Amino acid sequence: MGCEQWRGKLDAYVDGELDLAEARVLAEHVRTCSACAADALGRVQMKRAVQVAGKRYTASTELRDRISKSLTPKPRRRVWHWQILAAPALVLLIISVATNFYMGREGARRQRVYSELADLHVAALASAAPVDVISTDRHTVKPWFQGKIPFTFNLPELQGSEFTLLGGRVTYFAQTPGAHLIYQVRKHEISVFIFQDRAFEDHGEAAASLPSGTEHALSFNMENWTQDGLRYFVVGDVGAGDIQALSKLLQDAR
Amino acid sequence: MKAPEKLVSAATFEELAMPLFDQLYNFARWLTQDTAEAEDLVQETYTKALRGFSSFQAGTNFRAWMYRILRNSFLSSRTGLKTMVAIDEEGEENLVPAESTTPESILIEQADRAMVQRALAELPVPSREILLLCEVEEMSYQEIAETLVIPIGTVMSRLFRARKGLRDLLRKQVEGGRDGV
């Protein structure tokens, strides 16, 4: 290859853009050809001169700061946002964790109470003698409990309602004696449990903290409330409407 | 989840882009030949780049991408429109240098830094920018091709022309200076 052809490649050579093999051959040529060597040296010097001359301008620090600031979301604002958001978020988190925990425990203990009462209800109905006092007359049933349970209660007049009193028995719930009454409506039995509310508290039993209201659990409908220091539970497989109607009657009983 | 993503990309962008600040400014200043315009151009470049950072493909050349944005912003500016009107591609036919009366080594020895700077400033923008990218930014032909969005062959021919132009301007200064003495 002649010098003319090599010269066409000198730029690429000094720019480091020739492939390795070609660069090696050219380097070999430059070592032996003073004209090409001088040419290559001149190009390298020119490159260097442009490099030095080209690094000429320096930006103001103001510009750098301005641009840098425009790129970063302001740290102070970010922290501020974080704190503003974090405080309520933390409170919410704590509340939700506590509530979940509480609700979880609440739910579990409520479930326990309901299943236990449902068991009592079902066990009584399954027994050969569901009730110990067989009477449709509240004036017979109520006195029967005297001396058997440490409290007394009022039973409603059922005249004009769909409900019939079948009878009653003494029951125990969480080591507490109570009255278990069985009513009937359209061939369905409904259990009414009456306990001393205080007894629940004394025993630290879950039922003490049970909120009043209607529940649907294990396919039974259940209503519970506290009245005159007594806790009432109405459990049955009838509709919530019947449960509530009977509850109303019991609540209004004088 | 949009906001954290944006924060992350802004942080990454800053990490990638801020180290280029001095070079970009120098380049912008050479292109515009004006401090205020250069500042605006760099600011605009960063703003556009940050906005378009999501479209930047990781693994491709970030530096070339930034320079491309800067250059495109410059070309669409009033100064840029004026200076780039005269681009005409000559192709690759002139790769063999013309004979020069003064050998390059001697020319360079006699040309000081200010002379080279004056010659660079006098060069038409296409020649000036490619020389800056090649010599000052030390970009490879491939990077220059990516930055200017031209084929490598055009990079080589434009570079050749730019060097020839620079030599001519320097020679004029050196020989003119010599004549003046």
> Is A35 an interface residue toward B (CB < 8 Å)?
no
Confidence band for B118, pLDDT divided at 50, 70 and 90: very high
Nearest chain B CA: its distance from A13 CA (Å): 12
The pLDDT tens digits for B153-173 are: 999 999 999 999 999 999 888
Query: Residue B48's closest chain A neighbor by CA?
Result: A71
DSSP assignment of A112-144, as one string?
A: HHHHHHHHHHHHHHHSSSS-SEE-S-HHHHHHH
Residue A198 resides in a domain: yes
Instruction: With CA atoms as reference, report the closest residue to A222 among A111, A131, A130.
Output: A111
Residues A122 and A237 in one domain: yes
Cα A98 to Cα A90, A92, B52, B94, distances in angstroms = 12, 10, 45, 82
Nearest chain A CA: its distance from B95 CA (Å): 6
Residues A47 and A149 in one domain: no
Residues A117 and A45 in one domain: no
**Cβ distance of B14 and A72 shorter than 8 Å:** yes
Residue A47 resides in a domain: yes
Residue A84 resides in a domain: no
Is the model more confident about A107 or about B95? A107
CATH number for the domain harbouring residue A197:
3.30.200.100
B133 burial (CB, 10 Å; 0-12 / 13-18 / 19+) is buried
Tokens of A137: 């007359």
Residues A49 and A116 in one domain: no
Confidence band for B1, pLDDT divided at 50, 70 and 90: very low
Residues A141 and A243 in one domain: yes
Average pLDDT over residues B138-163: 95
Residue A39 resides in a domain: yes
> Is A19 an interface residue toward B (CB < 8 Å)?
no
Confidence band for B130, pLDDT divided at 50, 70 and 90: very high
> Is A81 an interface residue toward B (CB < 8 Å)?
no
Q: Quote the pLDDT of residue A126.
A: 80
Q: Quote the pLDDT of residue A70.
A: 87
Q: DSSP letter at B94? A: T
Tokens of A174: 């969480």
> Is A64 an interface residue toward B (CB < 8 Å)?
yes
Tokens of A209: 């903290």
Residues A119 and A239 in one domain: yes
**Cβ distance of A50 and B18 shorter than 8 Å:** no
**Cβ distance of A4 and B96 shorter than 8 Å:** yes
**Cβ distance of B105 and A70 shorter than 8 Å:** no
Q: What residues make up the domain containing A17?
A: 3-54
Element housing A214 (H / E): strand A213-217
Nearest chain A CA: its distance from B25 CA (Å): 6
Residues A238 and A118 in one domain: yes
Residues A24 and A136 in one domain: no
Q: Quote the pLDDT of residue B102.
A: 62
Residues of chain A with pLDDT under 50: 77
The pLDDT tens digits for B56-94 are: 877 788 999 999 999 999 988 877 777 665 555 544 444
- Report the C-alpha gap between B163 and B170 in whole angstroms: 10
Residue A195 resides in a domain: yes
Looking at every residue in chain B, the average pLDDT score rounds to 82
Confidence band for B149, pLDDT divided at 50, 70 and 90: very high
Q: Quote the pLDDT of residue A99.
A: 75
Residues A156 and A230 in one domain: yes
Q: Quote the pLDDT of residue B111.
A: 77
**Cβ distance of B107 and A52 shorter than 8 Å:** no
Residues A16 and A116 in one domain: no
Nearest chain B CA: its distance from A18 CA (Å): 11
Touching B: A residues 154-173, CB under 8 Å: none
CB-CB neighbors (< 8 A) of A58 in chain B: 22, 25-26
- Report the C-alpha gap between A197 and A101 in whole angstroms: 25
pLDDT at B123 over 50: yes
Residues A135 and A248 in one domain: yes
Q: Measured in whole angstroms, how far is the alpha carbon of residue A4 from the centre of its chain?
A: 81
Residue A236 resides in a domain: yes
If you search the block for the tokens 């001169």, which residue do you land on? A49
Residues A134 and A247 in one domain: yes
Residue type, A15: D
* Structural domain count of chain A: 2
Instruction: With CA atoms as reference, report the closest residue to A170 among A154, A204, A147.
Output: A147
Domain boundary among A54, A74, A92: A54
To probe the interface with A, which of B136, B157, B160, B161 has the most A CB atoms within 10 Å? B136
Residue A83 resides in a domain: no
> Are residues B113 and B102 in contact, defined by beta-carbon separation less than 8 angstroms?
no
Q: Quote the pLDDT of residue A113.
A: 77
> Is A11 an interface residue toward B (CB < 8 Å)?
yes
Nearest chain B CA: its distance from A96 CA (Å): 22
Residue A167 resides in a domain: yes
Q: Please give the domain boundaries of chain B with CATH numbers for all domains.
A: 2-83 (1.10.1740.10), 104-180 (1.10.10.10)
**Cβ distance of B138 and A51 shorter than 8 Å:** yes
CB-CB neighbors (< 8 A) of A8 in chain B: 95-96
**Strand-pair category, A133-134 with A188-196:** unpaired
